[in-house]
Structure 1
Amino acid sequence: MKKSIWMSGILAASLLAVTCQVSRQNSRSTTQTPANQTVETVPAFTANPSPAHLTPEQSLKSFRLPKGYHLELVASEPMIHEPVAVAWDGNAKMYVVEMDTYMQDVDGSHEHDPISRVMLLEDTNNDGKMDKSSVFIDKLLLPRMLLCVGHELLVNETDTYDIYSYKDTNGDGVADQKKPVFNPGKKAPGNLEHQRSGLDWNLDNWIYVTVDPVRFRYTNGMLKADSIPSGSGGQWGLTHDNYGRLFFSSAGGEVPALGFQINPIYGRLEFRDQYSEEFNAVWPIIKTPDIQGGVQRIRTTDTTLNHFTASCGQVIFRGDRLPSDLSGDLLISEPVGRLIRRAKVSNKAGKTTLENAYQKEEFIASTDMNFRAVNMYTGPDGCLYIVDMNRGIIQEGNWTKPDSYLRPQITRLGLDKNIQHGRIYRLVHDGIKPGPKPQMLDEPSSKLVTYLDHANGWWRDNAQKELIVRSDPSVVPILKVIATGQKPASALGRLHALWTLEGLNAIDKTVILKALTDEDAQVRKAGILLSEPQLKQNDESLLARLGDLKTDPSFDVRTQLVLSLSYSSLPKAKALAQEVIALSPDNEMVARAQKSLDKNEDVKKFGRKLGSLDETDRKLVLTGSTIYKSLCTTCHGSDGKGLESKAAPPLLGSQRVRNRNKEIAIRILLHGLSGPIDGQTYPDVMPAMGANDDEWLASVLSYIRYEFGNNQNPGVRPADVKAVREQTAGREKPWTLPELGK
């Protein structure tokens, strides 16, 4: 789903670009790396794709895939409609989130009606296709996150931070028990595309989400929140690899992948060269005129999307029933381009880098104009699962207004008529049979322990989670045997044993010290992470043992050492961190890790700078800080300097921010801003935020003016906003700088 905050104001030249029918061969080479060998049943490029709705059987014929790969239909309408996310319980029952009111017409009418659902699907004959369904939860407001924990399902809806647990106690496939597990009782700001996704139970037993600066711990049936000072980042979609590294994406900032260098709890760290500019280019196999970013995002030679603009639903594939060279690759969906990117993930001296697996080609691409993949997962059977909303419009109503670039394309093609469909596919490969169905919810804890070393990451993750949810102490002895290497297990098996012990509150110093000397670098890194509680207690003997790792051959280990040493207040810890940096003079990852920590510490201390403000302004700035970090950073950057993708203008130093006349900034936030900004043209316009109340707008502007412009007098009060709102009542189009200059 497109989550941009800015939208192109250029409309006049668009129709010429849309009608361009130059052959694909003129636009780029179709040469592929040898690994691809794309099946030729689907053309390399289709100049005039039909916008008509296709049956599932027709859609299956629309995909261009590497040789040997095939998509199979798992579920489709009428069993499901408008699916956006799925989760499996320990017995492989599939829960599907439906956003049934998402863009049912070009205006997004009745979008917030509480009529969406969570469906429960089952495959009763093990043929890979769902044949039994029930409405597990009905009458929801655009549900967006879900997570299975034991026999319960955790669900979050749009416009609220609340998370509830649902349970079916009589086995009829319908939830009959509901209880709150996280209930702050606050309304979530922003439209549905600027709110959280995720609930990803990571290797470290923290549950991560996007957008909001928070993570959760599942304890005694409740979610306990822990703040992430610098924010978690990202928008729609979140995944982790075998070692707990998180991967976010930001459609609004046109950033296909971010946040994967270090855990966000330590701050933010990105590199200019973590992937090349060429990586941002995408390669659809059909003309894609319905591009919200306008003509700047259209490849003029063939009218295709030229850049990531709606990256979402990413997954690190960790299954065991597709070719082994796919394992560990990052897959990113681009629903506007009707394609899925395959990125090779590399570790270069501790720095993670990404590279397209193919030359000017994509892993999966479709000629079906309604193919809208919005989420992907490694499944219980070891295959890849793709959630396809299969619809015409994939941008929220803020970006389809009458004066937008996109609206004429939607209406001309009739895309607004393609609604209430949806498919779930699984990717299979010739000669590789999907794996068996798990029965974890019915098996003893001793059996679950054996799955911690399973070849399929889904099994390892869910066995660990189920053991922790059960809180069964009987498995602690065998877990310690596995974690310390006394019982043969792979490095991944030892990792999951370590973190299962941590989740059971059964990790001890002996186990940690053994992990610090493990032959595998990722296990040693985990040992450092697990030592952080003792470092907080300033355990000097443990600190001495950590010192043995200062010249570790793995820069992953050295980087983690610098990060984790920040938990100790001992001067020896700070000296050791500096020594690690000095012993790695040519490694930018180690040095930058410390800089991220320093900046993170500044964020923690942010409140101290507010002492000069009165209580009202201080409250507004603090509230605005939370809103900005969860919503605005995806385009303007956390530091207000904008992004390298130039998705939006910088705020730092902007005259609109620094100007003593508060009305200019208020007008922009109320109604939006279009056209060139300070001589620079941006892909999108600033949409109106006037749907939010006066206090919300005053808070955002107070923070922006305080942090990026006029920190002695941020001074935007709700009454100021109210006055400008009344003066400009009836205005429906964005401002331009010449208008504001008057």
Structure 2
Amino acid sequence: MILKRFYYLLLIFLGFFNCKQKAYSEKIYEKPEIIREAPSTFHSPEESMKTFYLPEGYKVELVASEPMIDEPVAIAWDGNGRMFVAEMNTYMQDVDGTGTNRSISKIKLLEDLDGDGKMDKSTVFIDSLMLPRMILPLENELIVNETYSYDLWSYKDTDGDGVADKKERVYYNENRRGGNLEHQQSGLIWNLDNWVYTTYNPIRFKFKKDKVIVDSLDIMPSGQWGLTQDDMGVMYYSAAGSENPAYGFQQPAVYGDYNPKGRLSEGFVEPWPIVGTPDVQGGTKKLREDNTLNHFTGVAGQEIFRGHKLPPSTYGDLFIPEPVGRLIRRAKVKVEDGKKVLYNAYDKAEFMASTDLNFRPVQAKTGPDGALYIVDMYRGIIQEGNWTRKGSFLRPVIIRKELDKNIGKGRIYRIVHEDIKPDVKPNLIGKKASELIQYLGHKNGWYRNTAQKLIVLKDDQTVVPELQAIARDNESFFDGLLNRDKDFGLERVGALWTLEGLGDVNKVLIKEKFADKDPRVRVAAIRLSENFLKAGEVDIISDLEKLASDSDIDVVNQLALSLRYSKDKKATELLNILNSKYGDHEIVSHAITESLKKDDSQLEKIKERISGMGVGTKKSVLAGYDNYKQLCITCHGADLKGVAIEDGSLIAPTLIGSPRVKGDKAVLSKILLNGLIGPIDGKDYGIMMPLHMNSDQWIADVLSYVRVMNDEGGVHRNEVARARKQSEGREDYWTLEELEKNK
């Protein structure tokens, strides 16, 4: 009888925990009639919010606005949910960008004192900055990068008044960054692998308790404004310059920039604004008949949403702000035979769109409360001054629409669902490492990443046994019953990478995890085995061999990616075995091919090409290669043949075989100094931005690299200096016709 009662109680218990997940509507809004020439009237936050359109059930709440904030571009939270806001207070204050480079920008510290989700207190944490563009809260400090600089600075508030009073440079690069401020680094995100990444620069950082480690990478993606990661640390890049809303997301960035065809579904690059967008770089060819944007152009600040307080269907979706289109795209990330493919979540519509011409979303972020946050720069002009000069398409549009009048504002919103209450503020600062471990299994990715970061920074080795126990087995029978919505596999992944951050990569544990029931854990274990492959520990290859027949294609692909780090012939043999099985598989075959190259990188090819040249030329070409990867590759491509968009046309002309590249060095120097507009070989590519803000040496290095790749001689900085002198006082772009006349 007792056994029978227990049986019935167990059935009731199981039934209780087997409740179906609530269904949420995905019904999209009814679009308003398109206004071709909407007024650029300034609206209060409350008025502007009335212009927002979202799917059924979603709503926007105001978190902060002017005068509390001014020209916000990026946000980040510390472990207690205090929000840091980077402001570019001098950005495009008129159509000419007058005073842009004054060091008067700020980083604010905002606090929600009553827990209602709206900020109540604003403090200037740092002032006198040059257009701050990257912020990373650590435990009790904020890491900051400013425009035109590669340096990283640490700021601390030692007396608790909300104002930074201690400043220390933690990374120094003697080179100064020049050029357009849009085309510079962003990101500074703490990745799952415990490295901190940025866009553009092929370097990454590891913050330890008492030092910063810098690592150079030759092959990572570039990107522009915006960087985000998914649960496995795979990062998503975007590039407004090449009108590319998402790329680099097929594999972790450390393995290179791989963008297979079809990663963006048909029609994905078409945005669907609900208001006319006349102020678009590129002119009328970028507009539909109804005057709305017909192709992504200003993509920025994308975010993989990993929060827990929106409908579950949003988890893992990519949200892409498009400030020119006044909208935010929601992209579904679908895996099709190992390849990630992005789809618009709605048919010819966007997740969020506005009819307010001053709505300029530049960043999306998953918040500690599980909601989706949007940074709205709220301004008239969004393009940088290089695109608003006299003679540009934008300038008369800006003046006619009086877009230059709307400055000095800014809003931060959070998107919530009417049936889901956002979470309370976090309280992680000051907790012991042992107390933070529980958050590695939190439903919200923000908590998991923040807990991992704080544990690693504390460097408390006493938590290693507990982390190892979680990584080994954290899912008992009753744990599974009591926490049916908990992702135990993801918690094991977090425990493994937290151990790595603490310097504990245990070979016995890693080998055990090769057989974990969750493929994501097996993937993490393979990546962590690279420590042993790099060290030449051949014995682990025998254990990896078993994974060549794994049922999960992501596991097989990771195996192919990781084997490149072994110099041993056994790794090559295993790669050949994989090739015999997966040679026709689009994704895995690429990983195999790249790993079989091992040391055969592009850099090695360049070194071989310049082996007979003088020391000065060698140095210039190699520096130019680095500069090219940081600034030019987005449009001209890694092979210098131009980046193709979906219709097959090129963003920029090929540099291989170009008569401009192979011809007069003075003409080529002038093109880089002042930019180029008008037809090139019968095709109009729009505007090539001027690079005169860079030094003569920087320009000479880029030109030397490009010319050497065309079997031509290098360019000396004195030749660039002469071209600069000849162009002195010129503000307009060159046309090829003018350059021919001025030879």
Tell me whether the two structures share a fold, i.e. TM-score over 0.5.
yes
Is residue 226 of structure 2 the alignment partner of residue 237 of structure 1? Answer: yes
CA distance in 2, matches of 1:229, 1:594: 19
Higher mean C-alpha displacement, 381-390 vs 609-618: 609-618
Instruction: Report the counterpart of residue 281 of structure 2 in structure 1.
Output: 292
- Residues 661 and 668 in structure 2, CA contact (< 8 A), matched pair in contact too: yes
Q: How far apart are residue 599 of structure 1 and its match?
A: 8.7
Instruction: Report the counterpart of residue 673 of structure 1 in structure 2.
Output: 676
The DSSP-based 3-state class of the residue aligned with 1:318 is coil
The DSSP-based 3-state class of the residue aligned with 2:639 is coil
1:37 pairs, out of 12, 18, 27, with 27
The DSSP-based 3-state class of the residue aligned with 2:683 is coil
Is residue 201 of structure 2 the alignment partner of residue 212 of structure 1? Answer: yes
Letter of the aligned partner of 2:705 in structure 1?
A: Y
Q: How far apart are residue 39 of structure 1 and its match?
A: 3.9
Q: Provide the TM-score with structure 1 as the length reference.
A: 0.92
Instruction: Report the counterpart of residue 658 of structure 1 in structure 2.
Output: 662
- Residues 25 and 57 in structure 2, CA contact (< 8 A), matched pair in contact too: no
Q: Deviations over 1:464-519 (max 9, x none)?
A: 10100111112111111110115546111001001000100122012101211111
Instruction: Report the counterpart of residue 602 of structure 1 in structure 2.
Output: 601
Q: How far apart are residue 44 of structure 1 and its match?
A: 5.2
Letter of the aligned partner of 2:667 in structure 1?
A: I
By relative contact order (CA 8 Å, sep 6+), the higher-ranking structure is 1
Q: How far apart are residue 651 of structure 1 and its match?
A: 1.0
Instruction: Report the counterpart of residue 698 of structure 1 in structure 2.
Output: 700
Q: How far apart are residue 652 of structure 1 and its match?
A: 1.7
- Residues 293 and 309 in structure 1, CA contact (< 8 A), matched pair in contact too: no
CA distance in 2, matches of 1:62, 1:93: 29
CA distance in 2, matches of 1:693, 1:537: 41
Is residue 435 of structure 2 the alignment partner of residue 475 of structure 1? Answer: no
Q: Deviations over 1:428-449 (max 9, x none)?
A: 0011000121111132222210
CA distance in 2, matches of 1:232, 1:245: 12
Q: Deviations over 1:10-66 (max 9, x none)?
A: xxxxxxxxxxxxxxxxxxxxxxxx9642345x7253344220111000011110100
Instruction: Report the counterpart of residue 688 of structure 1 in structure 2.
Output: 690
The DSSP-based 3-state class of the residue aligned with 2:567 is coil
Q: How far apart are residue 120 of structure 1 and its match?
A: 0.4
CA distance in 1, matches of 2:305, 2:56: 18
The DSSP-based 3-state class of the residue aligned with 2:302 is strand
Instruction: Report the counterpart of residue 647 of structure 1 in structure 2.
Output: 651
Q: Deviations over 1:243-276 (max 9, x none)?
A: 1110000100111101111223222211121113
Higher mean C-alpha displacement, 462-471 vs 554-563: 554-563
Do the aligned partners of residues 674 and 322 (structure 1) sit closer, same or farther apart at CA in structure 2, a change above 3 Å counting? same
Q: CA RMSD in A?
A: 1.6
The DSSP-based 3-state class of the residue aligned with 2:353 is strand
2:144 pairs, out of 138, 155, 178, with 155
Higher mean C-alpha displacement, 444-453 vs 181-190: 181-190
Instruction: Report the counterpart of residue 246 of structure 2 in structure 1.
Output: 257
Q: Deviations over 1:587-628 (max 9, x none)?
A: 110111233443983224133332211122112111211111
The DSSP-based 3-state class of the residue aligned with 1:256 is strand
- Residues 214 and 232 in structure 1, CA contact (< 8 A), matched pair in contact too: no
Unaligned residue ranges in structure 1 (runs of 5+): 1-33
Q: Deviations over 1:284-316 (max 9, x none)?
A: 0000000012111111x1011110001110000
Q: How far apart are residue 715 of structure 1 and its match?
A: 2.2
Task: Map 1:96-175 to 2 at 5 A.
Answer: 96-175=85-164
Do the aligned partners of residues 190 and 690 (structure 1) sit closer, same or farther apart at CA in structure 2, a change above 3 Å counting? closer
- Residues 72 and 428 in structure 1, CA contact (< 8 A), matched pair in contact too: yes
Instruction: Report the counterpart of residue 729 of structure 1 in structure 2.
Output: 728
Instruction: Report the counterpart of residue 318 of structure 1 in structure 2.
Output: 306
Is residue 715 of structure 2 the alignment partner of residue 716 of structure 1? Answer: yes
- Residues 671 and 735 in structure 1, CA contact (< 8 A), matched pair in contact too: yes
CA distance in 1, matches of 2:598, 2:587: 15
CA distance in 1, matches of 2:723, 2:189: 42
CA distance in 1, matches of 2:534, 2:714: 39
Q: How far apart are residue 457 of structure 1 and its match?
A: 0.6
- Residues 562 and 580 in structure 1, CA contact (< 8 A), matched pair in contact too: yes
CA distance in 2, matches of 1:207, 1:68: 36
CA distance in 2, matches of 1:35, 1:582: 46
- Residues 453 and 493 in structure 1, CA contact (< 8 A), matched pair in contact too: yes
Q: Deviations over 1:666-708 (max 9, x none)?
A: 22112222222112222x211222232322221111111112x
Do the aligned partners of residues 376 and 68 (structure 1) sit closer, same or farther apart at CA in structure 2, a change above 3 Å counting? same
CA distance in 1, matches of 2:350, 2:273: 8
- Residues 40 and 357 in structure 2, CA contact (< 8 A), matched pair in contact too: yes
1:405 pairs, out of 393, 400, 405, with 393
- Residues 578 and 592 in structure 2, CA contact (< 8 A), matched pair in contact too: no
Instruction: Report the counterpart of residue 8 of structure 2 in structure 1.
Output: none
Do the aligned partners of residues 560 and 604 (structure 1) sit closer, same or farther apart at CA in structure 2, a change above 3 Å counting? farther
Q: Deviations over 1:293-346 (max 9, x none)?
A: 2111111x1011110001110000000000000000001111000000011101
Letter of the aligned partner of 1:561 in structure 2?
A: L
CA distance in 2, matches of 1:66, 1:271: 31
- Residues 62 and 367 in structure 1, CA contact (< 8 A), matched pair in contact too: yes
Task: Map 1:261-280 to 2 at 5 A.
Answer: 261-280=250-269
- Residues 122 and 132 in structure 1, CA contact (< 8 A), matched pair in contact too: yes
- Residues 299 and 320 in structure 2, CA contact (< 8 A), matched pair in contact too: yes
Higher mean C-alpha displacement, 460-469 vs 616-625: 616-625
The DSSP-based 3-state class of the residue aligned with 1:138 is strand
Do the aligned partners of residues 622 and 295 (structure 1) sit closer, same or farther apart at CA in structure 2, a change above 3 Å counting? same
Is residue 344 of structure 2 the alignment partner of residue 356 of structure 1? Answer: yes
CA distance in 2, matches of 1:434, 1:271: 38
CA distance in 2, matches of 1:448, 1:622: 45
CA distance in 2, matches of 1:601, 1:89: 42
Q: How far apart are residue 237 of structure 1 and its match?
A: 0.3
Q: Deviations over 1:629-688 (max 9, x none)?
A: 0000111111111111222111122121122x2222122112222222112222x21122
Instruction: Report the counterpart of residue 334 of structure 2 in structure 1.
Output: 346
CA distance in 1, matches of 2:691, 2:81: 42
CA distance in 1, matches of 2:274, 2:44: 20
Instruction: Report the counterpart of residue 612 of structure 2 in structure 1.
Output: 612
Letter of the aligned partner of 1:694 in structure 2?
A: D
Do the aligned partners of residues 697 and 486 (structure 1) sit closer, same or farther apart at CA in structure 2, a change above 3 Å counting? closer
The DSSP-based 3-state class of the residue aligned with 1:675 is strand
Do the aligned partners of residues 728 and 133 (structure 1) sit closer, same or farther apart at CA in structure 2, a change above 3 Å counting? closer
CA distance in 2, matches of 1:725, 1:447: 60
Instruction: Report the counterpart of residue 30 of structure 1 in structure 2.
Output: none
- Residues 84 and 374 in structure 1, CA contact (< 8 A), matched pair in contact too: yes
CA distance in 1, matches of 2:134, 2:464: 31
Instruction: Report the counterpart of residue 578 of structure 1 in structure 2.
Output: 576
- Residues 365 and 373 in structure 2, CA contact (< 8 A), matched pair in contact too: yes
Letter of the aligned partner of 2:561 in structure 1?
A: L
CA distance in 1, matches of 2:300, 2:161: 34
CA distance in 2, matches of 1:402, 1:681: 18
Letter of the aligned partner of 1:679 in structure 2?
A: G
Do the aligned partners of residues 545 and 394 (structure 1) sit closer, same or farther apart at CA in structure 2, a change above 3 Å counting? same
- Residues 329 and 344 in structure 1, CA contact (< 8 A), matched pair in contact too: yes
Q: Paired residues, what number?
A: 702
Letter of the aligned partner of 2:215 in structure 1?
A: D
1:502 pairs, out of 483, 497, 500, with 500
Q: Deviations over 1:527-552 (max 9, x none)?
A: 00000010112222211000000011
CA distance in 2, matches of 1:729, 1:716: 20
The DSSP-based 3-state class of the residue aligned with 2:400 is helix
The DSSP-based 3-state class of the residue aligned with 1:442 is coil
Letter of the aligned partner of 1:610 in structure 2?
A: I
Q: Which portions of structure 1, spanning 4 or more consecutive aligned residues, are displaced by more than 6 angstroms?
A: none
Do the aligned partners of residues 335 and 741 (structure 1) sit closer, same or farther apart at CA in structure 2, a change above 3 Å counting? same
Instruction: Report the counterpart of residue 457 of structure 1 in structure 2.
Output: 445
CA distance in 1, matches of 2:375, 2:136: 16
1:66 pairs, out of 55, 62, 66, with 55
CA distance in 1, matches of 2:34, 2:490: 42
